[in-house]
Structure 1
Amino acid sequence: MRRIRAAVATGALLAACAALLGAAPPAPAADSPGFRIRDGRLLDATGRDFVMRGVNHAHTWYPDTTDKALKDIKAKGANTVRVVLGTGDQWARNDTADVARVVSECKKNRLICVLEAHDTTGYGEAGAAVPLSRAVDYWLGVKDALVGQEKYVLVNIGNEPYGNTGYAAWTDDTKKAVGRLRAAGLDHTLMVDAPNWGQDWAFTMRDNAAGVLAADPDHNVLFDIHMYGVFDTPAEVSSYLNRFAAAKLPLVVGEFGDMHSDGNPDEDAIMASAQSLGIGYLGWSWSGNGSGVEYLDLVRDFDASRPTAWGRRLFEGADGIRATAKEAGVFGGTDPGQGSCAVSYRLSDWGSTFNADITIRNTSGQRIDGWQLAFAFSGQQKINSVWNAKAVQSGADVRVTPESWTHSIPADGTVSFGFNGSSTGANTPPKAFTLDGKACTTA
């Protein structure tokens, strides 16, 4: 998000071809010391699924507000904050000491810190924007504030690289940026924004994400889509998010709002789809928007006691931050089932029929041989067929046991299975799962 955003040519969305995402990502390399990607999921340093629920804060423009803003953002229930930094190209440079201080404040408030370099915004179309290579130069310049913080910090290489001109270069430029940061010793999960002002209407990121992930020697890249006017219908939102989920490619909605100059994004669909798929989201933005987009402020004048309608929707509404955010395990949280298992349930719903893809992660610290997963449907759902497991349903209650090839779950490993079903009425994911009688965390 930039404070004055160029309009996106939404009509081009209709002309863009629906190319396939490409080959499935490879198996991960050695674990990062902090956050890491596995099976298309973002895991924290404790091995638990971590689903971002938070907001953006414009630190580089309003540095004097940051300490209080982070405290207030946490009090609203968030688990993550995406912090806007300047590289010194378009906006004043946030130096190593300042970055270190921001990270310290995030940790003090038990917030995961996504640091993003904003000066790349709209490169190729915005005259003052700089290429991703300049963002890499910046990260290398503040490296001392980053190394050792891998458990708490994700590095968002450059905000919205490329506008609507020259965006075909996104894939190669992103691979080069990731490669340079890895060669310099940065082991963090790297977050990469889509081109087209972050909205990827030409599907450049969508169709090349697998190749970018494969090119990272650490296989530790998280993809970031920004949802504004291009995503103004439930179908557009669901289609984009489901393509990543189906391909087991990690995705976060790094920015979205309830209105915008290029169209009215469907924030209800964004939040509902993200929740059903276990995909993170970060609303834009805490406060300080100007130049006609003041409606994107979550609170007025950085005052947490004065939430806007958008702020109330994001924090307190259905599928909102207050109801869905879970603190990162690195802060010592005690979610039910911590140390036993974590379950992700990805729903692809077509009305009267649906598919569910379920992954069980063994976080018990020891191998599990033979298992039983139990859960209850929340509505009128019926399982028709199952793959990679066996299921018995009695009313709403379901018991799942393994096939011979999914019999064992290694320590910190996973098994996945799925089923096809039919439903009437609302079809929402089960609220709770138990593995061999012990409660699991959910993503």
Structure 2
Amino acid sequence: MRRTLATAAGALLAIAASLLTAPSPAQAETRAASGFHVGAGRLLDANGEDFVLRGVNHAHAWYPTRTPQALKDVKALGANSVRVVLATGDRWTRTEAADVAAIVTECRRNRLVCVLEAHDTTGYGEQAGAVSLARAVDYWLTLKDALRGQEKYVLLNLGNEPYGNSGYQTWTADTQKAVARMRDAGFDHTLMVDAPNWGQDWTFTMRDNAGKVFAADPARNTVFSIHMYGVFDTAAEVNDYLNRFTSQGLPIVVGEFGNAHSDGDPDEDAIMAAAQRLGVGYLGWSWSGNGGGVEYLDLATGFDASRLTDWGRRLFDGSHGIRQTAREAGVFTSGPDDGPTGAACAITYRLSDWGTWFNADVTIRNTGTTTVKGWRLDFAFPGEQRLNQAWNARAAQQGRQVRATDESWTETIPAGGTVSFGFNGSSTGTNAVPASFTLNGAVCTTN
């Protein structure tokens, strides 16, 4: 539904007043200097450099096998970031922690800033099956181990379009609670929050209450995301909305937009021009695979980077487009940053099984010629085993998938050397050695 933008002086005063409680930019920068952070209304990277998102959305939740090539392709086309669709498991097949960690590794390998978003909240209050922001936070909490240490490379978009056109009146309180829970759980990442009204905020709920949400974040590290489709079909509407944020020192991103839509014809030229003028980030929807009558939103036909659509050519190559305006994040400028790199490896897995419970001792041998510093071992239990506790490594289980990562005293595996860790667990039925292991994404041999 479309609404005309209107002046709200009282709301602006409320925003300004709420910002008085925020720490100075220097204080906020010091607090979150280990990763992305907000300073003076701008998104800054871990080096304290201004960073403007220029990228696309990719629907990983529906096309997980397409992700590695999609990230390579959008990077080659000039993008500096990608917003990746994840699923909590409530409406679509759950994106597990191991998969999330692999996505982050691929983003880093391609020198892309990764914006991860939980999609199952879309249209909550109006769309059947949509879940609340509180439920999305439950999901994020299960990913904490996979996301720990990635604050320099990853932004967390708490929930996609978290309200439809019903129930949006609770957006402010619910968003404040969601942010508070994330901070209480120890997440230091920059958090991104979407507007209600299917992301388009025609009721101005986010616009008029963003200051309250920002001030309620103890880290002062929240970015706001508007989705611009049919509501934003004139340059006046685009400019007015974005100016309301930037003039108040509130960080805003156009998290989704297109060149057409069933609810009206968005003015993508005005969106891109205003974003460039104001230094506001944008992420076009979406790389490929759209259905349900909105196939026109594909940037590439059939996930083929050599067959960009008119929309894709406009976004990547047009005036104020990605190739012309994107700048790589400063954290990548010193050289490739792949995260832990794959290595030649061999695994010894010694199982001691006592029927309903078991111990496993695991030795990782670096059979390559270079030192591995920082490792991640992935494998799947062959039956109904449940991990209890681990030593000399941190370990987490999702379904049958297990991921073990180094402790500070086991992080280095010299060429020809080994590290060992162990864990215990419970089991029902037959216990056995996992069939395969990967170390930092590389398949290992087993002894």
TM-score (norm 1): 0.72
Alpha-carbon deviation of 1:332? 1.8
* In structure 2, C-alpha distance between the alignment counterparts of 1:19 and 1:222, rounded to whole Å: 22
Deviations 1:75-127 (A, max 9, x none): 00000000000000011100110000000000000000000000000000001
- Structure 1 residue 23: deviation in Å? 3.2
CA shift, 1:16, in A, is 8.9
Q: Which runs of 5+ in 2 are unaligned?
A: 336-447
**Structure 1 segments unaligned to the other structure (5+ residues):** 1-8, 335-443
Equivalent pair of 1:274/1:281 in contact (CA under 8 Å):
yes
What's 2:15 paired with?
A: 23
Match of residue 228 from structure 1: 229
For residue 247 of structure 1, give the secondary structure of its aligned residue in structure 2: coil
SS in 1 for 2:120: helix
Secondary structure, counterpart of 2:275 in structure 1: helix
**Quick one: distance in 2 between partners of 1:78 and 1:333?**
18
Please list, as runs of the form range in 1=range in 2, the aligned pairs for 1:137-156 lying within 5 A after superposition: 137-156=138-157
Compared with structure 1, are the counterparts of its residues 94 and 16 closer, same or farther at alpha carbon in structure 2 (3 Å cutoff)? farther
CA shift digits 1:144-188 (9 cap, x unpaired): 111100000000000000000010100000000000000000000
Aligned partner of 2:82 in structure 1 is: 81
User: 8 Å contact 1:16–1:202 — kept in the other structure?
Assistant: no
* Within-5 A mapping of 1:79-228: 79-228=80-229
Q: Provide the rounded CA distance (Å) in 1 between the counterparts of 2:100 and 2:15.
A: 37
SS in 1 for 2:102: helix
> Residues of 1 paired with 2:207 and 2:15: CA distance?
12
The question of 1:285 aligning with 2:286 is answered yes
Q: Any conservation in 2 of the 1:16–1:201 contact (CA below 8 Å)?
A: no
Bigger Cα displacement from structure 2, 23-32 vs 72-81: 23-32
Shift in alpha-carbon separation, 1:333–1:199, aligned structure 2, 3 A: farther
- The SS at the match of 1:23 is helix
Cα distance change of structure 1 residues 17 and 46 upon mapping to structure 2, 3 Å threshold: closer
What is the alpha-carbon distance in structure 2 between the residues aligned to residue 173 and residue 86 of structure 1?
20
Which residue does the alignment assign to 2:262?
Answer: 261
What's the CA shift for 1:31?
2.3
Percent of aligned positions that are identical: 69
Q: In 1, Cα distance between the equivalents of 2:63 and 2:204?
A: 33
- Greater Rg by CA: 2
Give, in whole Å, the separation in 2 of the partners of 1:67 and 1:245. Answer: 35
> Partner letter of residue 31 of structure 2?
D
Task: Deviation per CA, 1:16-55: give whole Å up to 9, x if none.
Answer: 9675333332225442120000100000001000000000
Residue 152 of structure 2 aligns to a residue whose secondary structure is: coil
* TM-score, normalising length: structure 2: 0.71
Which residue of structure 2 lines up, in the alignment, with residue 243 of structure 1?
244
**Offset of residue 190 of structure 1:** 0.1
RMSD of Structure 2 on Structure 1 (CA):
1.3
Residues 334-362 of structure 1: CA deviation (Å, up to 9, x unaligned): 9xxxxxxxxxxxxxxxxxxxxxxxxxxxx
CA deviation after TM superposition for structure 1 residue 309, in Å: 0.1
Amino acid at match of 2:141: L
C-alpha contact (below 8 Å) 2:90/2:131 kept by paired residues: yes
Q: What does 1:378-389 align with in structure 2 at a 5 Å threshold?
A: none
Query: How far off its partner does 1:217 sit?
Result: 0.3
Q: Is the 8 A contact 1:116 1:157 kept in 2?
A: yes
- Report if aligned partners of 1:287, 1:301 keep a CA contact under 8 Å in 2: yes
Query: Would the alpha carbon gap of residues 114 and 14 (structure 1) be closer, same or farther in structure 2, given more than 3 Å must change?
Result: closer
Give, as a single letter, the amino acid of the residue that structure 1 aligns with 2:226: I
CA distance in 2, matches of 1:290, 1:229: 18
Q: Which amino acid aligns with 2:160?
A: N
Counterpart in the other structure of 1:48: 49
The 2-side partners of 1:20 and 1:200 are apart by: 15
Distance verdict in 2 for CA 1:14–1:224, change over 3 Å: closer
CA contact (8 A) 2:5 2:240 kept: no
Matched position secondary structure for 2:225: strand
